[in-house]
């Protein structure tokens, strides 16, 4: 229960409910515990003595107590639910804002699918555990102890039966738990696995269909599903087999009570009513014990959930801002790499000894084959990751000394994957600058050459974009992503392969528009056509710069560049034919 306990701080705010719920529950149990004694009174003092008014009077008291017990029960339920749901809501917000604070490196490790499960399923699991903790885990022990106490008061000699029954039942329950606990743990692991398979499939459902792999996926799911069923069966079988044994114990206890109790009644030691009351207490005690053990099972699941939730809460952002972080005196938008090497996690080096300078208002193009490290270079500028060695400077200040928020404000970036949000076209562009006016939004769209297709949409700028931009073409998505970056109006603009799905003529118009903005532009490209006008070009291969200069210089001096140029011009890519 170690992991679950760590989360109790989220209950602190609800401590009033956490205290009140069990108190109410004790009230309810107390009412329940009085009922058998009153039954005894009705039988012995009312029925046996032929006193009808005693019967009616006691009956009325019983109803009264039942009503009070019911009120206590309802209040306990209300308080437990308030605490449980409040706890869940706070935990979810804490998780969500933690995830927002994490760095790219953390997010590489905790996948999206698993984060969703943690925010939904795991939190619900924990919320249920809190509620049952406040209700059943309080009710069961009080019922057990209270019933034994009352039974002893009612029929002291018969109570000796408990000495035999309770240990036997505890033994049976303990044996069940020992066998069922690990199995339920396994069930949880299988369920997680199935969730992962499902999420991965649903996120990539188009790819699955495109490759006609649905049968494979169905089989994979079917296997996980069957596995879950079998594991659950083996866990539940333990309980199913033991349940009749428990009932047998309870029934044997009942028979023994009637046997010994019957003799005592015959001998005149106790009265019939006392025997009836005793039997009621016996039942209450035994069922209290069973209920307690069943609820314990639920906590195995909660513990697994708590572990997963705590993993997120305990993640420390990989990129941390130093307390002395500041901003440079002037911020014209200069970018400089000094002998930068970079490795993701503990893999192979992705960048080695990369050095270049981009003066304010000029442009740099990064050219290179796929996997050569282009996206990695640009992700170091807004400090999505920290360099392994060397320095990245923005406006002559190391990005590690920058105030993180100000640094990111200083840079507009269109990431390689153009992710849009569900909402209108206008909202998506405005995401880059929340207070942008309509005129600014439209100007950005014009520059990104997105205006024409936006005007063709049914509702223009107010057209609704589906989740992740499903109802747009790849090139349309890219242009909206560029517009979103442009509208931000930051001095440094980074476009990571943002025109790969746009035709060459449109690409040229976008570049001309960008040139008129006099920003520092860093653009990643695979096509020569996208880079010819750049002030400076670097050619990257396996994480190293193999050529650097402008188009004319490179054509004259670099074999690699000539090779790329020739291959693309010959195939017509560079001319857009």
Closest CB to ligand ATP among residues 358, 425? 358
Smallest CA-to-CA distance from 502 within 541, 473, 543, 538 is with: 473
Between strands 520-525 and 363-367, the pairing is parallel
Applying CB under 6 A, the span of 83-91, 148-156, 374-382, 389-397 interacting with ligand ATP comes to 374-382
Closest CB to ligand ATP among residues 109, 406? 109
Give residue for tokens 């747009």: 472
CB of 505 to ligand ATP, least distance (A): 22
* Binding flag, residue 418, ligand ATP (CB under 6 A): no
Q: How many other C-beta atoms lie within 10 A of the C-beta of residue 549?
A: 16
* Binding flag, residue 53, ligand ATP (CB under 6 A): no
Say which residues have a Cβ less than 8 Å from residue 552's Cβ, sequence separation at least 6.
Answer: none
Q: Which does 368 bind (CB under 5 to 8 A by kind): ligand ATP, Mg ion, none?
A: ligand ATP
Could you say which residues in the range 98-127 bind ligand ATP, by CB under 6 A? 108
Closest CB to ligand ATP among residues 306, 350? 350
Applying CB under 6 A, the span of 54-62, 163-171, 368-376, 468-476 interacting with ligand ATP comes to 368-376
Applying CB under 6 A, the span of 84-92, 367-375, 462-470, 554-562 interacting with ligand ATP comes to 367-375
* Binding flag, residue 127, Mg ion (CB under 5 A): no
Sign of the four-CA dihedral 175, 180, 181, 186: positive
Tell me the backbone φ, ψ of residue 522, rounded to 5 degrees.
-120, 120
- Residue 316 CB burial class (10 angstroms; 0-12, 13-18, ≥19): exposed
Q: How far apart are the C-alpha atoms of 383 and 388, rounded to whole Å?
A: 12
Could you say which residues in the range 490-509 bind ligand ATP, by CB under 6 A? 497
* Binding flag, residue 539, ligand ATP (CB under 6 A): no
* Binding flag, residue 344, ligand ATP (CB under 6 A): yes
* Binding flag, residue 284, ligand ATP (CB under 6 A): no
Applying CB under 5 A, the span of 81-89, 408-416, 455-463, 541-549 interacting with Mg ion comes to 408-416
Q: How far apart are the C-alpha atoms of 57 and 32, rounded to whole Å?
A: 18
Q: Quick one: which of 46, 261, 368, 475 contacts ligand ATP (CB under 6 A)? A: 368
CB of 410 to Mg ion, least distance (A): 22
Q: How far apart are the C-alpha atoms of 366 and 237, rounded to whole Å?
A: 62
* Binding flag, residue 114, Mg ion (CB under 5 A): no
Closest CB to ligand ATP among residues 242, 358? 358
Smallest CA-to-CA distance from 305 within 198, 191, 200 is with: 191
Q: Which does 224 bind (CB under 5 to 8 A by kind): ligand ATP, Mg ion, none?
A: none
Q: Which does 344 bind (CB under 5 to 8 A by kind): ligand ATP, Mg ion, none?
A: ligand ATP
* Binding flag, residue 350, ligand ATP (CB under 6 A): yes
Q: Is 48 helix (H, G, I), strand (E, B) or coil?
A: coil
H/E segment holding residue 472: none
Closest CB to Mg ion among residues 226, 417? 417
Q: Quick one: which of 97, 215, 370, 577 contacts ligand ATP (CB under 6 A)? A: 370
CB of 540 to ligand ATP, least distance (A): 7
* CA dist 308 → 96, 184, 302, 303 (Å): 14, 16, 10, 9
* Binding flag, residue 375, Mg ion (CB under 5 A): yes
CB of 565 to ligand ATP, least distance (A): 18
Say which residues have a Cβ less than 8 Å from residue 11's Cβ, sequence separation at least 6.
Answer: 18, 83, 87, 130
Q: Is 213 helix (H, G, I), strand (E, B) or coil?
A: coil
In total, the chain counts a number of residues equal to 577
Q: Quick one: which of 58, 117, 188, 372 contacts ligand ATP (CB under 6 A)? A: 372
Output the furthest CA–CA distance in the chain (Å, rounded).
Answer: 121
CB of 104 to Mg ion, least distance (A): 14
Per-residue three-class SS string for 496-535: ECCCCCCCHHHHHHHHHHHHCCCCEEEEEECCHHHCCCCC
* Binding flag, residue 416, Mg ion (CB under 5 A): yes
* Binding flag, residue 376, ligand ATP (CB under 6 A): yes
Closest CB to ligand ATP among residues 161, 380? 380
* Binding flag, residue 520, Mg ion (CB under 5 A): no
**8-state DSSP, 402:** B
Q: Quick one: which of 35, 41, 416, 428 contacts ligand ATP (CB under 6 A)? A: 416
Smallest CA-to-CA distance from 165 within 242, 255, 240, 265 is with: 255
* Binding flag, residue 413, ligand ATP (CB under 6 A): no
Closest CB to Mg ion among residues 375, 499? 375
Q: How far apart are the C-alpha atoms of 211 and 218, rounded to whole Å?
A: 14
Q: How many other C-beta atoms lie within 10 A of the C-beta of residue 204?
A: 14
Binding site for Mg ion (CB under 5 A): 374-375, 416
Binding site for ligand ATP (CB under 6 A): 108, 344, 347, 350, 368, 370-376, 416, 497
């Amino acid at each position: 229960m170690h992991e679950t306990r760590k989360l109790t701080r989220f209950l602190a705010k609800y401590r009033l409910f956490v205290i009140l719920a069990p108190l109410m529950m004790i009230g309810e149990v107390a009412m329940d515990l009085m009922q058998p004694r009153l039954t005894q009174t009705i039988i012995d003092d009312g029925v046996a003595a032929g006193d009808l008014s005693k019967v009616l009077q006691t009956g009325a008291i019983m109803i009264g107590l039942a009503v009070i017990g019911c009120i206590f029960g309802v209040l306990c339920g209300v308080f437990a639910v308030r605490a449980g749901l409040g706890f869940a809501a706070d935990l979810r917000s804490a998780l969500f804002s933690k995830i927002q604070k994490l760095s790219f490196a953390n997010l590489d490790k905790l996948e999206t699918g698993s984060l969703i499960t943690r925010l939904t399923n795991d939190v619900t699991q924990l919320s249920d555990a809190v509620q049952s903790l406040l209700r059943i885990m309080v009710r069961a022990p009080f019922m057990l102890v209270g019933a034994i106490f009352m039974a002893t008061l009612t029929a002291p000699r018969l109570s000796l039966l408990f000495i035999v029954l309770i240990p036997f039942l505890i033994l049976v329950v303990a044996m069940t738990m020992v066998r069922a606990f690990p199995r339920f743990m396994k069930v949880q692991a299988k369920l997680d696995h199935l969730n992962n398979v499902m999420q991965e499939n649903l996120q990539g459902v188009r790819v699955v269909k495109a490759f006609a792999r649905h049968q494979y996926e169905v089989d994979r799911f079917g296997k996980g599903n069957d596995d879950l069923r079998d594991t659950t069966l083996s866990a539940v079988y333990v309980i199913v087999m033991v349940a009749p044994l428990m009932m047998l114990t309870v029934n044997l206890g009942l028979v023994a009570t009637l046997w010994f109790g019957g003799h005592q009644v015959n001998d005149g030691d106790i009265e019939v009513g006392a025997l009836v009351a005793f039997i009621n207490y016996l039942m209450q005690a035994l069922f209290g014990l069973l209920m307690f053990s069943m609820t314990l099972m639920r906590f195995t699941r909660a513990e697994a959930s708590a572990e997963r939730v705590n993993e997120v809460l305990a993640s420390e952002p990989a990129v941390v801002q130093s307390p002395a972080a500041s901003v440079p005196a002037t911020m014209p938008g200069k970018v400089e790499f000094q002998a930068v090497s970079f490795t993701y996690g503990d893999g192979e080096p992705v960048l080695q000894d990369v050095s270049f300078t981009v003066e304010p208002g000029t442009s740099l193009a990064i050219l290179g084959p796929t996997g050569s490290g282009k996206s990695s270079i640009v992700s170091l500028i807004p400090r999505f990751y920290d360099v392994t060695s060397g320095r990245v400077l923005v406006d002559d200040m190391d990005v590690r000394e920058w105030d993180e928020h100000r640094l990111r404000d200083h840079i507009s970036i269109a990431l390689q994957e153009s992710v849009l949000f569900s909402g209108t076209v206008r909202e998506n562009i405005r995401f880059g600058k929340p207070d942008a006016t309509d005129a600014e939004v439209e100007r950005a769209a014009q520059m990104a050459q997105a205006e024409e297709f936006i005007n063709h949409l049914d509702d223009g700028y107010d057209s609704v974009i589906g989740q992740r931009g499903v109802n747009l073409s790849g090139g349309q998505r890219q242009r909206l992503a560029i517009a979103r970056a442009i509208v931000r109006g930051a001095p440094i603009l980074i476009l990571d392969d943002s025109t790969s799905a746009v035709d060459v003529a449109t690409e040229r118009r976008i570049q001309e528009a960008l040139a008129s903005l006099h920003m520092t532009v860093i653009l990643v490209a695979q096509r020569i056509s996208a880079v010819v006008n750049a002030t400076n070009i670097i050619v990257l291969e396996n994480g190293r710069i193999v050529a650097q200069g402008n188009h004319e210089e490179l054509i004259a001096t670099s074999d690699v560049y000539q090779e790329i140029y020739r291959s693309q011009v010959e195939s017509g890519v560079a001319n857009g034919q």
